[in-house]
């Protein structure tokens, strides 16, 4: 049977996770708490310390973290939000539900949003700018200056990066989905970077759990009534977006191993950059390795025939019916690169010999 080199593969330390899970699920069933508890808080504290963030809130997905951010900014019908044309649809689907007008901006050759495009599309109705660390590639620092100059909140969709390329922006949303830098099975983290926005941090904590002050409820032993008086109130309709201790257990293991995994990803990515004969898009936190090629369909087929998985991963969003279903003609870089970009394997399961094989095959068929 021919060996298949996978495009994606989850990163996890199986032995470590099994030890942690045994503590969470003791044979005598003595652990009462599996939901959002001490391990979830531990993850938030360790993530905050590792990446030097003030306010961190764990969530059940990065999509939830994004939706909480849009809620915190009170985005509504009639508002405009500038987003890159090339991103996971999870960046933009929550905006549709809020009735926001999505303004698509063109990309650069590295597939990240073009700052000049962003600035040109700012109007009086622009209420937020979203930059995406696609494939782990860094956000152009010019976007930070543009957002600051126009006093517009900057959201970093960092679902595909980890602590390397997203030290900008007002709000950062991370993903711990199955195949990201480390996983919690599925999960995410909302970071509020402004130290003066404690009120938004508290608001987000409530919104994450139906709008309820969970800590106040804990102080009252989870009793909604005490001496004929309400012990809790809901002032704003929230969601059920919290993480649980089962997911946090897996994530804590991944967080501790993330540095060595990132180092290994970088080794493979840099090998591609040094040895491939075609343009390579990889860097930052090295989640995806992209190449730009002519005759992409032929290249993809020959790679598949050689046991190498490939994918485009994400499509330009304007072609989906939900976003309009028609290509925007003035997005010149996107239009020119649309038929050329392709992602090749980059994960911690593959070997350096796998990378060498991929380079050998690719350079032969280019």
Instruction: Single out the residue in 200, 227, 251 at which a domain terminates.
Output: 251
pLDDT for 32: 84
Return the minimum-mean-pLDDT range out of 144-148, 160-164, 357-361: 160-164
More confident residue, 351 or 36: 351
Q: Does 5 map to a domain?
A: no
Residue 218 in this model has a pLDDT that exceeds 80 = no
- Does residue 8 sit within a domain? no
Domain assignment of residue 69, yes or no: yes
pTM exceeds 0.75 for this model: yes
Q: What is the band of 220 on the pLDDT scale with cuts at 50, 70, 90?
A: low
- On the question of pLDDT at 56 being above 80, the answer is yes
- Summarize pLDDT for 7-37 with one digit per residue, the tens: 999 999 999 999 999 999 989 998 888 888 8
pLDDT at position 165 over 60: no
Give me the pLDDT at residue 219, please. Answer: 63
Q: How many domains does the chain have?
A: 2
Are 79 and 140 members of one domain? yes
pLDDT for residue 167 is more than 90: no
Residue 250 clears pLDDT 70, i.e. is over it: yes
Instruction: Return the pLDDT at 31.
Output: 86
- 1 belongs to a structural domain: no
Mean pLDDT of 242-256: 97
Q: Please give the pLDDT value at position 234.
A: 86
> Which domain range does residue 172 map to?
14-251
Which residues partner with 105 through β-bridges? 84
Average pLDDT over the chain reads: 94
Residue 33 in domain:
yes
**pLDDT tens sequence across 182-214:** 999 999 999 999 888 999 999 999 999 998 876
Last residue of a domain, one of 235, 251, 267: 251
- Whether residue 50 lies inside any domain: the answer is yes
* Same domain for 240 and 262: no
Residue 222 has pLDDT above 60, yes or no: no
Residue 191 and residue 323 in one domain: no
Banded model confidence at residue 343, pLDDT cuts 50, 70, 90: very high
Assess whether pLDDT exceeds 90 at residue 137: yes
| pLDDT tens by residue, 263-308 | 999 999 999 999 999 999 999 999 999 999 999 999 999 999 999 9
Residue 196's pLDDT is 86
55 and 87 fall within a common domain: yes
């Amino acid at each position: 049977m021919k060996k298949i080199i996978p495009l994606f593969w989850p990163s996890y330390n199986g032995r470590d996770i099994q030890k942690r899970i045994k503590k969470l699920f003791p044979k005598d069933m003595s652990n009462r708490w599996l939901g959002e508890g001490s391990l979830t808080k531990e993850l938030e504290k360790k993530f905050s310390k590792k990446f030097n963030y003030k306010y961190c809130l764990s969530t059940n997905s990065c999509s939830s973290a994004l939706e909480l951010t849009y809620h915190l900014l009170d985005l509504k019908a009639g508002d405009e939000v500038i987003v890159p044309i090339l991103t996971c649809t999870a960046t933009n689907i929550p905006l549709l539900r809020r009735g926001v007008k999505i303004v698509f901006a063109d990309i650069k050759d590295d597939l990240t949003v073009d700052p000049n495009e962003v600035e040109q599309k700012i109007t009086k109705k622009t209420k937020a700018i979203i930059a995406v660390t696609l494939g782990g590639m860094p956000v152009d620092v010019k976007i930070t200056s543009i957002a600051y100059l126009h006093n517009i909140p900057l959201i970093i969709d960092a679902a595909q990066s980890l602590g390397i390329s997203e030290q900008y922006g007002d709000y950062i949303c991370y993903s711990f989905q199955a195949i990201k830098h480390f996983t919690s099975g599925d999960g995410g983290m909302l970071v509020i970077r402004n130290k003066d926005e404690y009120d938004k941090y508290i608001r987000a904590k409530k919104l994450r759990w139906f709008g309820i002050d969970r800590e106040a409820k804990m102080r009252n032993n989870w009793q909604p009534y005490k001496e004929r008086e309400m012990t809790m109130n809901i002032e704003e309709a929230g969601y059920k977006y919290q993480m649980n201790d089962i997911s946090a257990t897996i994530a804590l293991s991944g967080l501790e191993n993330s540095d060595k995994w990132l180092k290994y990803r970088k080794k493979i990515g840099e090998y591609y950059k040094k040895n491939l004969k075609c343009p390579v898009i990889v860097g930052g936190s090295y989640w995806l390795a992209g190449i730009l090629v002519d005759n992409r369909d032929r290249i993809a087929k020959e790679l598949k025939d050689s046991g190498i998985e490939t994918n485009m991963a994400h499509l330009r969003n304007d072609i989906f019916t939900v976003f309009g279903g028609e290509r925007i003609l003035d997005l010149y870089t996107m239009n020119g690169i649309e038929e050329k970009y392709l992602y090749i394997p980059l994960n911690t399961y593959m070997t350096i010999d796998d990378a060498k094989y991929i380079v050998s095959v690719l350079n032969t068929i280019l």
